[in-house]
Each structure stands twice: as C-alpha cells, then as structure tokens.
C-alpha cells in the first residue's frame, strides 16, 4: 500500500504539472495569456498630461482640421476617441491601415500620434495609404509614448468621454480587435 | 614564436583591456562617475521592453536608449532609486523590473527554491530511513574461508 502510494505520488505530480502546462499553452493560443505582454498600467486611469505639436497635412485646413496642437486635456472632450500611435517607418502600421480607414469611414473618431517620425515622411505615408485620423500630434522625441507605456508602434488606446483609458491594444489592429474597439466605443459613447 | 612569448602577449592584452562599457556612446554617460555608476546599476535592474531579456543598459533598442536617458535625467535631478523605479512601474508595471518584487503573484516564484529544498530534503530523509542495515560481520568460519580464497 505504502509502496504503491510512493510510486503514484511522482506520477500524480507529473500529471498535475502537465495539466497546468497544457492550460497555459491553451491560454497562450487564445491570447488570454501572453508571457511577453507588457501590462497596460493606464487602464481605468486618465491619460497622462502631454502637449504635442500638431501635424498639418495638405488639405487638412480645408477639411476643417488645421494643424492643431494635441494635448492630454483634448482627449477628455466629451466623446470617446481611439488614439493610435503610428509611424511611417513601421510595417505593421501599413498592415493595420485598412482597418483604421474602415473605422474612420464608419464615423469613429480616430486621432493619431506620429511616433519618432519626420513630418514629410508622415505626410507621404498618409498620402500613400490613406489618412484615417482627424487630428494628429507629433511625438518626435517619443517621450509621450513612454508616458502612455507604449513599447513600440502601432498601439491603440480607447479613451472615454472623460479622458480615461478603457481599452488598449499593442500591435497591429486585427479585424477582431477593430470590432472589439468599435463595440467598446459604442458602449462608452 | 615560443609558447612563453604567446602567453606574455596574451597577458599583456588582458592587462591593457578596458572594461566593456554597456553603453557604447560616451555622450550618454553622466559626467559624475559616482552618479553614472548609480545610473548603470539602476538601469541594469530595468527590463528593456523591446528585447525583454536584456536590461536597458545592455540593450541596443531605441526605447532602451530613451529609458537610459530618462534614468540619468532623473538621477541628475536628485531623485532616489525608488522614485525612479516607481516612475518606470507607473508606465510599464512590475514587468519592467528584472528583479520582481515579492507580492501575491510572485510568492510562488520567490518560494520555489525553498519548496525545492524541502522536497529534496524530504526525499533524502525518506531514502535514508529506508536504507538497509549493514550486514553483520563475518563469523570465524567465514573469515577462514575468505582467507583461503584470497591466498590460495
């Protein structure tokens, strides 16, 4: 009896560890667990205080969007906004652009922050792929991105009407993520 | 060239070698060596969010360079190490710390060496208890038979 117990104990421990490992793998596959994921500290918190120079795109002024400087306080403007950190040199930003354009065409307010980019390169990028943003700030030094806890472009934040961060995505916007963002936006409208 | 000359040349090279600076660009360093040493020590405890298994002192990533610069700016402004770590964790969470703090989520991690020691100690104790007693010494007849076999 004792011998059998001694034999079964390691087997049981191995089975338990295996089950835990499988559960971890499953959670990694469904995206509920990401060992490399950087936590979003801003969730449920107001956006950091920042003030960025605006970015003027040719044609912006005529469409009613002058080169307006972008400040943290502007994000608490009484309506939810999707804020996207992007750069012309970022390949995943090209990949997610059609989904951002679709959100823009659906009337969702999208603001952009150009991360460590040259204005002419930003203009060329938006001219080539389409501009989904109604307002753009220029984070040339990349310090506002650090205040947002951004680790790399693209990253997208959903900011509610009072300027509190409600949702965040690191990496390119997939179709599922875009749908999720749109439904969250309606929820906070 | 004789072997002795090779050894001497190698020894000379080693003696002349300067310590490997983590930061390639001297312009990044603080002018005060004591403050720079503090910054390097602190930066060594902060994870580069891009490469993830390197500290910001070791990493060549752009973001790591920005964070090194921020660490040095805060140190030059007279902030304490814990203030700077708080600044970093406010943005990137405990994930940014290469040495995680002790809290409910990391309790198992920190306890794992002691748990392993307990399991190993328990196994050693159990196997000792189960060890068979040494056989009794040989009696006179066996002794003489042994001598016979050894000295034919």
Q: What residue spans define the domains of chain A?
A: 1-36, 51-188
Of B49, B70, B92, the CB nearest to A41: B92
Residue in B with minimal Cα distance to A47:
B91
Is the pLDDT confidence value at A62 over 50?
A: no
Contacts of B62 in chain A (CB under 8 A): 116, 142
Which residues in chain A have their CB less than 8 angstroms from residue B71's CB?
none
- Dist. CA A113–CA A124, nearest whole Å: 15
Nearest CA in chain A to B96: A38
- Nearest 5°: the CA angle B89, B90, B91 is 85
CB B116 within 8 A of CB A13: no
% of chain B beyond a pLDDT of 90: 49
B3-96: which CATH architecture? Orthogonal Bundle (1.10)
- Closest-CA residue in chain A for B119? A10
pLDDT digits (tens, 9 = 90+) for A75-127: 777 889 999 999 999 999 999 999 999 999 999 999 999 999 998 899 899 99
CB-nearest partner of B93 from A39, A116, A146: A39
CATH classification number, A51-188, choose in 3.40.30.10, 2.60.40.10, 3.40.50.300, 3.40.50.720: 3.40.30.10
Q: What is the pLDDT of residues B27-84, one digit of tens each?
A: 788 888 999 999 999 999 999 999 888 999 999 899 999 999 999 999 999 999 999 9
Nearest CB partner across the interface for A41, out of B50, B63, B93: B93
Closest-CA distance, B75 to chain A, in angstroms, reads: 17
Q: Work out the minimum CA distance from A3 to partner chain B, whole angstroms.
A: 12
> What tokens were used for A49?
């205080």
Give the pLDDT score at A158: 94
Nearest to A110 by CA among A120, A118, A99: A99
Residue ranges of chain B assigned to CATH 1.10.8.640: 3-96
């Amino acid at each position: 009896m004792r011998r059998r117990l001694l034999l079964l104990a390691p087997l049981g421990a191995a089975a338990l560890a295996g089950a835990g490992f499988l559960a971890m793998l499953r959670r990694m596959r469904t995206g509920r667990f990401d060992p490399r994921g950087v936590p979003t500290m801003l969730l449920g918190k107001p956006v950091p205080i920042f003030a960025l120079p605006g970015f003027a795109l040719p044609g912006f002024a005529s469409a009613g969007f002058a080169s307006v400087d972008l400040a943290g306080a502007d994000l608490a403007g009484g309506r939810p906004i999707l804020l996207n950190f992007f750069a012309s040199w970022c390949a995943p930003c090209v990949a997610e652009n059609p989904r951002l354009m679709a959100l823009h065409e659906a009337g969702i307010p999208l603001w952009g922050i150009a991360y460590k980019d040259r204005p002419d390169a930003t203009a060329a990028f938006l001219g080539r792929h389409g501009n989904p943003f109604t307002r753009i700030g220029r984070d040339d030094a990349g310090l506002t991105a650090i205040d947002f806890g951004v680790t790399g472009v693209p990253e997208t934040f959903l900011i509610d009407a009072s300027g509190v961060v409600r949702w965040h995505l690191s990496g390119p916007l997939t179709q599922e993520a875009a749908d999720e963002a749109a439904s969250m936006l309606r929820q906070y409208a | 060239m004789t072997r002795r000359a090779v050894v001497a040349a190698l020894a000379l090279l080693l003696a002349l070698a300067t310590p490997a600076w983590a930061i390639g660009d001297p312009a990044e360093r603080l002018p005060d060596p004591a403050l720079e040493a503090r910054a390097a020590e602190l930066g060594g405890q902060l994870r580069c969010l891009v490469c993830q298994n390197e500290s910001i002192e070791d990493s060549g990533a752009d973001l790591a360079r920005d964070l090194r610069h921020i660490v040095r700016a805060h140190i030059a402004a007279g902030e304490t190490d814990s203030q700077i770590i708080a600044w970093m964790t406010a943005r990137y969470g405990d994930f940014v710390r290469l040495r995680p703090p002790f809290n409910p989520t990391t309790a198992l991690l920190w306890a794992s060496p002691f748990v392993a020691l307990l399991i190993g100690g328990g196994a050693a104790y159990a196997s000792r208890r189960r060890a068979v007693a040494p056989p009794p010494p040989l009696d006179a007849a066996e002794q003489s038979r042994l001598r016979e076999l050894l000295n034919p």
